[in-house]
């Protein structure tokens, strides 16, 4: 039989499909949900820290104040001053980053907060890096922007995803192995039942059908055992009936055989001989129609019935 068509292979493949499906659901549902939660947590943190940083910058927009606000918010703080209102344009007045401010000069969230005069937050991508941002407008028209990189958070998500892939491959291999071994044990029980049924079908009722399991297969084995016992009883009754019937039929026929031998004696008077000869032929024909295929029972008479027309050798009267 093809190993791929065995119960073990099919059960192993079924378990592998279930595990693979679970991993796909985790990758499609759990991982994106975790990513959204991390991003939303960063955005909420920046949104809550923006008013405090704005209040401090209203009092003083010095570099020390900006650095202090950035340290408190654990984010980059950029302080914008309005250039024009129509169209809305901003210029960087202070930045906690000591490298450059060109990457935030035309920040869309800062311009949107300035144009709509309300706090906004969201994510932007700059230089191939994704950032979480919260922009907060102040009463004098200036805007405070808090920016935090999502690189570390997204890297953690990617690490979780890669670990899930590795764990999934291990789980797939384990499910294939466990499924194949479990199904092989189950298949051995099925093969034992198959051999027992073959013995019963061939007429061998001597060996019981045994299965120690308490599951559906064990119940099936118990049903086969009841069937074996009933068939064995029927077979025993059949043999007893044939033996008894053979004995009951042969005993009177053997008795009639002796009577036929007497009727074949030529010393009887002609009248009696002729009358009994006709009756003897009738009985002899009935004996010929009796069953011959059934073996006689032990101890029964084995005398041969002579045909009614046969004659014993005449004795010499002189002897």
Token pair recorded at residue 126? 């700059």
Q: Could you tell me the CATH number of the domain that includes residue 30?
A: 3.30.450
pLDDT of residue 99: 82
Each residue's pLDDT tens digit, 118-141: 999 999 998 889 999 999 999 989
- Confidence bin at 275 (pLDDT 50/70/90): low
Ranked by mean pLDDT, the top range of 51-60, 245-254, 275-284 is 51-60
Token pair recorded at residue 156? 């953690």
pLDDT of residue 258: 65
Whether residue 154 sits in one domain with residue 15: yes
Whether residue 120 sits in one domain with residue 13: yes
What domain range is 54 assigned to?
3-159
- Mean pLDDT throughout 39-60? 92
Whether residue 139 sits in one domain with residue 225: no
Total structural domains within the chain: 2
Each residue's pLDDT tens digit, 227-239: 989 998 998 898 8
Whether residue 9 sits in one domain with residue 113: yes
Whether residue 114 sits in one domain with residue 16: yes
Whether residue 142 sits in one domain with residue 18: yes
d(CA 253, CA 264): 16
For the sheet containing 88-95, what is the strand order? 88-95, 76-85, 143-149, 129-137, 120-126
Q: Which backbone phi and psi does 206 adopt, to 5 degrees?
A: -80, -35
Residue 278 has pLDDT above 90, yes or no: no
In a domain, 277, yes or no: yes
Whether residue 82 sits in one domain with residue 229: no
Each residue's pLDDT tens digit, 83-118: 998 888 999 999 998 888 888 988 999 999 999 999
Each residue's pLDDT tens digit, 5-25: 666 667 777 777 888 888 888
In a domain, 238, yes or no: yes
In a domain, 306, yes or no: no
Whether residue 151 sits in one domain with residue 34: yes
The angle, 0 to 180 degrees and rounded to 10, between the axes of the packed helices 31-59 and 63-73 is 150
User: How many CA within 13 A on the CB side of residue 243?
Assistant: 10
Q: Is the peptide bond before 87 cis (omega within 30 degrees of 0)?
A: yes
Whether residue 153 sits in one domain with residue 34: yes
pLDDT of residue 68: 92
In a domain, 178, yes or no: no
Burial of 223 from C-beta contacts in 10 A (0-12 / 13-18 / 19+): exposed
Q: Which of 104-113, 276-285, 299-308 has the lowest mean pLDDT?
A: 299-308
pLDDT of residue 313: 47
Residue 143 has pLDDT above 80, yes or no: yes
In a domain, 193, yes or no: no
Structural contact between residues 80 and 90, judged by C-beta atoms closer than 8 angstroms: yes
pLDDT of residue 311: 44
Residue 154 has pLDDT above 80, yes or no: yes
Whether residue 143 sits in one domain with residue 61: yes
Give the closest residue to 247 by CA, choosing from 299, 296, 302.
296
pLDDT of residue 27: 81
**pTM recorded for the entire structure:** 0.55
pLDDT of residue 218: 84
pLDDT of residue 317: 45
Structural contact between residues 94 and 104, judged by C-beta atoms closer than 8 angstroms: no
In a domain, 310, yes or no: no
Residue 273 has pLDDT above 80, yes or no: no
More confident residue, 210 or 269: 210
In a domain, 124, yes or no: yes
Whether residue 243 sits in one domain with residue 121: no
Whether residue 132 sits in one domain with residue 239: no
pLDDT of residue 302: 43
In a domain, 279, yes or no: yes
């Amino acid at each position: 039989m093809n190993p791929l068509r065995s119960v073990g292979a099919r059960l192993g493949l079924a378990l592998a499909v279930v595990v693979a499906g679970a991993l796909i659901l985790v990758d499609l549902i759990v991982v994106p949900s975790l990513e959204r939660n991390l991003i939303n947590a960063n955005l909420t943190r920046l949104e809550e820290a923006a008013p405090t940083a704005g209040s401090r910058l209203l009092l003083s927009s010095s570099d020390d104040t900006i650095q202090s606000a950035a340290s408190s918010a654990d984010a980059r703080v950029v302080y914008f001053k309005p250039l024009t209102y129509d169209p809305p344009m901003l210029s960087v007045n202070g930045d906690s980053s000591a490298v450059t401010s060109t990457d935030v000069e035309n920040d869309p969230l800062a311009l949107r907060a300035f144009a709509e005069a309300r706090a906004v937050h969201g994510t932007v991508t700059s230089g191939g890096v994704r950032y979480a941002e919260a922009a907060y407008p102040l009463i004098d028209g200036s805007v405070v922007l808090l920016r935090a990189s999502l690189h570390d958070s997204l890297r953690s998500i990617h690490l979780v995803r890669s670990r899930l892939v590795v764990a999934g491959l291990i789980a797939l291999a384990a499910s294939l192995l466990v499924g194949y071994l479990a199904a092989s044990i189950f298949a051995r029980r099925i093969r034992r039942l198959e051999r027992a049924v073959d013995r019963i079908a061939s007429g061998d009722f001597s060996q019981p059908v045994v299965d120690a399991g308490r599951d559906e297969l064990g119940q099936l084995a118990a049903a086969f055992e009841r069937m074996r016992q009933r068939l064995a009883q029927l077979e025993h009754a059949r043999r007893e009936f044939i033996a008894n019937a053979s004995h009951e039929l042969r005993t009177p026929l053997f008795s009639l055989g002796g009577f036929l031998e007497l009727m074949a004696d030529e010393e009887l008077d002609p009248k009696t001989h002729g009358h009994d000869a006709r009756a003897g032929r009738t009985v002899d024909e009935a004996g010929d129609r009796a069953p011959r295929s059934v073996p006689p029972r032990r101890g029964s008479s084995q005398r041969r019935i002579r045909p009614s027309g046969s004659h014993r050798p005449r004795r010499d009267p002189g002897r």
